[in-house]
Amino acid sequence: MTAGRQARPFDFLVIGAGFSGAVISERLASIGQRVLLVEKRNHIGGNAYDYADASGIQVHRYGPHIFHTNSKEVYTYLSRFTRWRPYEHRVLTSVDGQLLPIPINLDTINKLYGTHYDRFELEAFLERVAEPRAECRTSEDVVVSKVGRELYRKFFQNYTRKQWGLDPSELDASVLARVPVRTNRDDRYFTDRYQVMPLHGYTRLFENMLDHPNIKIMLNTDLADIADLIPVREVVYTGPVDAWFDYRFGPLPYRSLRFEFETHEVERVQPAAVINYPNEYPWTRITEFKWLTGQHNRYTTTVKEYPEAQGDPYYPVPRPEANVLYRRYQELADATPGVHFVGRLATYRYYNMDQCIAQALSVFGRIAAGLGAPVDGVASAVALGVPS
Ligand code: FAD
Ligand code: UDP
């Protein structure tokens, strides 16, 4: 350090360089706050981290990340840091020896049963097989009330048991409500208004987002390594909420995955970006990255996802017992002054990327208001819940 020149201390310590931590850091830096961003992994990007593998294919280390949102604010904000590649995600699922479109649509049913239903005939069919429910409390209720038990068993029950180690009847309705049922021929996985991938990948997007003189990044550093060493005014924490409180009420359940990457010397290995395997094999799905990136290369790389009970915490588990336990941690979090809990792990929500970004912008809006700082249009629009 230059003699006589005292560095200004950090205003904020942000823990975790995934979307939640990166967005908060970028926004705080933009209003003149000095931010120390600490990440225990050896890279930024959190679970959205991507990189070029040995064959040059851009792969996602923690499983396929497809960007989709209905929020104009989130899309506009991210567009400051990346150009986009239009991309509509399509998924096939392996059922009864065929590869069929998922979410279930008109073609799924006609191929499965060899029928020629039109949309109205399919609606009548689904009405015949559906099991009406007064209230859809569980993920089983959500599906059987729409498509009946046979389709539930073929497409959802075993996939869910594999993915979560739980039967759909043990999971909140919200989990299987993520996958709609359609009576038209729309075979896209998502119907959001914005469906795009960052042109040069997520990691480049994060690099651009964090390239600011007010942000200092420390990789390979766990919160525990620096907690009492560096004075800061406020903290933003994006790791698992139970870890922050030393598991005082016991560990929250998180579901993990093991990823198995394979490179093949062939242009393409499968007929869609993702193939789901509900009923065979120990893995749930195989992703071929080239579909997501649009790359041309004589090699192609795939990743298989094997669900696991132990390992990095990837998914909060939406079910009543876990929600009750989380509420106890949330009360502690709410009563911890100077610490903001943000993101999928710290607020224990099965959030997509865009939801994490919206939440982070919203928290930033509150912090900035507390500091009396003027915020620009994007953050204030989200903070106020302005519809897109
Ligand atoms: P994370 O990305 O988990 O970042 C938290 C960071 O904090 C991590 O890097 C972690 O190392 C760090 N950290 C934790 N504790 C500490 C500590 N004590 N000290 C230092 N650092 C710490 N979303 C979509 O929108 N589309 C998709 O297609 C999609 N696919 C997904 C597929 C998989 C397999 C998974 C697991 C998730 C997927 N998601 C998808 C969800 C998406 O990953 C999350 O919404 C988003 O990345 C969460 O961002 P975050 O910053 O809250 O958490
Ligand atoms: N699911 C299923 N069969 C499928 C696809 C999804 O049973 O073919 C269930 C499964 O429980 C999964 C949930 O729906 O965890 C949500 O699916 P999504 O594709 O959104 O999962 P993610 O990409 O978040 O892992």
- Mean pLDDT (the chain, rounded): 94
Nearest-CA residue for atom 14 of ligand 2: 176
Say if 372 falls within a structural domain: yes
Using DSSP, state whether 289 is helix, strand or coil: coil
Structure tokens at 141: 């209720």
Q: Which atom of ligand 2 is nearest to the CA of 93?
A: 8
The percent helix, strand, coil of the chain (3-state, each to 5) is 35, 20, 45
Nearest-CA residue for atom 11 of ligand 2: 160
Task: Indicate the residue among 177, 193, 220 that finishes a domain.
Answer: 177
Ligand 2 midpoint to CA 245 (Å) = 30
Ligand 2 midpoint to CA 179 (Å) = 7
Say if 171 falls within a structural domain: yes
Task: Indicate the residue among 158, 177, 196 that finishes a domain.
Answer: 177
Q: How far is CA 191 from CA 86, 207, 250, in A?
A: 13, 29, 39
**Same domain assignment for residues 153 and 215:** no
- Mutation choice for ligand 2 from 178, 187, 354, CB with most ligand atoms inside 8 A: 178
pLDDT tens, position by position, 341-361: 999 999 999 999 999 999 999
Reduced 3-state DSSP string for 317-377: CCCHHHHHHHHHHHHHHHCCCCEEECCCCCCCCCCCHHHHHHHHHHHHHHHHHHHCCCCCH
pLDDT band with cut points at 50, 70 and 90 for residue 379: low
**How many Å apart are CA 206 and CA 216, to the nearest integer?**
14
Say if 79 falls within a structural domain: no
Say if 21 falls within a structural domain: yes
**Same domain assignment for residues 235 and 329:** yes
**Same domain assignment for residues 248 and 346:** yes
At 90, give phi and psi (nearest 5°): -130, 140
- The answer to whether the Cα torsion of 274, 275, 281, 284 is positive or negative is positive
363 pLDDT higher than 50: yes
**How many Å apart are CA 363 and CA 378, to the nearest integer?**
13
**Same domain assignment for residues 361 and 217:** yes
Domain that includes residue 144, residue range: 91-177
Ligand 2 touching residue 20 (CB < 6 A): no
**How many Å apart are CA 160 and CA 238, to the nearest integer?**
27
Ligand 2 touching residue 178 (CB < 6 A): yes
**Same domain assignment for residues 39 and 169:** no
Yes or no: say if 278 and 176 are a contact pair by the CB < 8 Å rule. Answer: no
Ligand 2 midpoint to CA 142 (Å) = 13
Measured from the alpha carbon of residue 313, the closest ligand is 1
**Same domain assignment for residues 162 and 225:** no
Nearest-CA residue for atom 6 of ligand 1: 16
- Mutation choice for ligand 1 from 195, 205, 238, 303, CB with most ligand atoms inside 8 A: 238
Say if 2 falls within a structural domain: no
Mean pLDDT for the stretch of residues 188-198:
98
Ligand 2 midpoint to CA 274 (Å) = 12
pLDDT at 387: 40
pLDDT tens, position by position, 86-117: 999 999 999 999 999 999 999 999 999 999 99
At 167, give phi and psi (nearest 5°): -75, 150
**Same domain assignment for residues 216 and 345:** yes
pLDDT at 231: 78
Between residues 230 and 51, which one has the greater pLDDT?
Answer: 51
378 pLDDT higher than 70: no
Contacts of 30-34 with CB under 8 Å at 24 or more apart are: 30/212, 30/376, 31/368, 31/371, 31/373, 31/374, 31/375, 32/214, 32/373, 33/214, 33/371, 34/8, 34/9, 34/10, 34/214, 34/216
Yes or no: say if 359 and 345 are a contact pair by the CB < 8 Å rule. Answer: no
Length of the chain: 388
Q: What is the DSSP string of 209-248?
A: HH--TTEEEE-S--HHHHTTTS--SEEEE-S-HHHHTTTT
**Same domain assignment for residues 231 and 330:** yes
- Give the relative orientation of helices 119-129 and 106-113 as an angle to the nearest 10 degrees: 70
Ligand 2 midpoint to CA 96 (Å) = 19
Ligand 1 midpoint to CA 314 (Å) = 7
**Which residue is associated with the tokens 């994060």?**
206
26 pLDDT higher than 50: yes
Say if 340 falls within a structural domain: yes
**Same domain assignment for residues 230 and 326:** yes
- Mutation choice for ligand 1 from 19, 43, 47, CB with most ligand atoms inside 8 A: 47
- Number of folded domains that form the chain: 2
**Same domain assignment for residues 332 and 380:** yes
CATH of the domain at 224: 3.40.50.720
Intra-chain end-to-end CA distance of the chain, in Å: 47
**How many Å apart are CA 148 and CA 163, to the nearest integer?**
21
Say if 333 falls within a structural domain: yes
pLDDT tens, position by position, 274-283: 999 999 999 9
384 pLDDT higher than 60: no
At 147, give phi and psi (nearest 5°): -125, 0
Yes or no: say if 145 and 151 are a contact pair by the CB < 8 Å rule. Answer: no
Ligand 2 midpoint to CA 160 (Å) = 7
Ligand 2 touching residue 163 (CB < 6 A): yes
Mean pLDDT for the stretch of residues 154-170:
98
pLDDT at 73: 96
pLDDT band with cut points at 50, 70 and 90 for residue 388: very low
Ligand 1 midpoint to CA 360 (Å) = 13
Q: How many CA atoms lie within 13 A of 14 on its CB side?
A: 31
Yes or no: say if 207 and 127 are a contact pair by the CB < 8 Å rule. Answer: no
